[in-house]
């Protein structure tokens, strides 16, 4: 996987705006991919980001970049817990929830749409997506919206602004580690404002 892929698909997570991000990346061998994942975890752990391959299919790996603290918040709401409990997830433990998600991704005949909760999507939108079978949404951006459309559209704009800022800074030579902020660090050298926060 390239750093450009990571930034393009994960900037809001690197910035602390989002609990998690997913993307599929090509790999030549599992050993090499695991080495890359271990290296990324060493580089990003002190900033509070973890990387985990969730599924392998042919020569593509589904990679999950996430912030454990934000994931705990995302999965901790009563609505998120209810959705997860219906599908057999142990709501009280985010790491066990990730293990259950890996099982569901690898064993289920249907894609586990509750994955949106692991990405920090609003529970009402994840619930609406599942119940409406992806139809009848109010709008579509990073996800399909069934709840608060105005707030979702604000988040879509923030995620885009964050990604654009990250890509520009990375192309100018800012390292992935520097771009990956601790939740206390929110300053973008380009604007003097938070990465994607303003």
Domain boundaries, the chain: 3-174
> How many angstroms separate the CA atoms of 158 and 152, rounded?
10
76-90, 93-107, 130-144, 175-189: range with lowest mean pLDDT: 175-189
Pairing of strands 50-57, 20-26: unpaired
pLDDT band at 189 (very low <50, low <70, confident <90, very high): very low
pLDDT at 89 over 90: yes
The reported pLDDT for the residue numbered 62 is 96
pLDDT in tens, 1-28: 899 999 999 999 999 999 999 999 999 8
The mean predicted confidence, pLDDT, of the chain is: 91
The residue assigned the tokens 């690197």 is 14
Pairing of strands 50-57, 60-66: antiparallel
> How many angstroms separate the CA atoms of 184 and 178, rounded?
13
pLDDT band at 193 (very low <50, low <70, confident <90, very high): very low
pLDDT in tens, 36-75: 999 999 999 999 999 999 999 888 999 999 999 999 999 9
SS3 string of the chain? CCHHHHHHHHHHHHCCCCCEEEEEEECCCHHHHHHHHHHHHHHHHHHCCEEEEEEEECCEEEEEEECHHHHHHHHHCHHHHHHHHHCCCCCCCHHHHHHHHHHHHHHCCCCCCCHHHHCCCCHHHHHHHHHCCCCCCCEECCCEECCCHHHHHHHHHHHHHHHHHHHHHHHCCCCHHHHCCCCCCCCCCCCCCCCCCC
Q: Span 84-93, mean pLDDT?
A: 91
| β partners of residue 141 | none
The reported pLDDT for the residue numbered 198 is 31
pLDDT at 190 over 90: no
pLDDT at 92 over 50: yes
């Amino acid at each position: 996987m390239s750093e450009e892929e990571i930034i393009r698909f994960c900037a809001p997570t690197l910035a602390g705006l989002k609990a998690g991000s997913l993307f599929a990346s090509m790999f030549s061998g599992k050993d090499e991919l695991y080495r890359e994942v271990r290296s990324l975890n060493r580089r990003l752990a002190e900033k509070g980001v973890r990387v985990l391959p969730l599924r392998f299919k042919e020569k593509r790996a589904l990679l999950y970049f996430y912030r454990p603290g934000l994931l705990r918040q995302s999965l901790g709401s009563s609505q998120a817990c209810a959705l997860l409990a219906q599908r057999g997830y142990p709501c009280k433990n985010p790491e066990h929830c990730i293990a259950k998600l890996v099982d569901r991704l690898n064993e289920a005949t249907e894609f586990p749409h509750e994955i949106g909760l692991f990405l920090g999507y609003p529970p009402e939108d994840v619930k609406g997506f599942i119940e409406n079978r992806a139809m009848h949404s109010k709008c579509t951006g990073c996800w399909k919206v069934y709840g608060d459309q105005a707030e979702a559209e604000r988040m879509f704009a923030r995620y885009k602004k964050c990604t654009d800022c990250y890509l520009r800074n990375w192309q100018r030579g800012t390292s992935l580690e520097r771009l990956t902020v601790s939740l206390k660090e929110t300053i973008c050298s380009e604007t003097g404002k938070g990465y994607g926060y303003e």
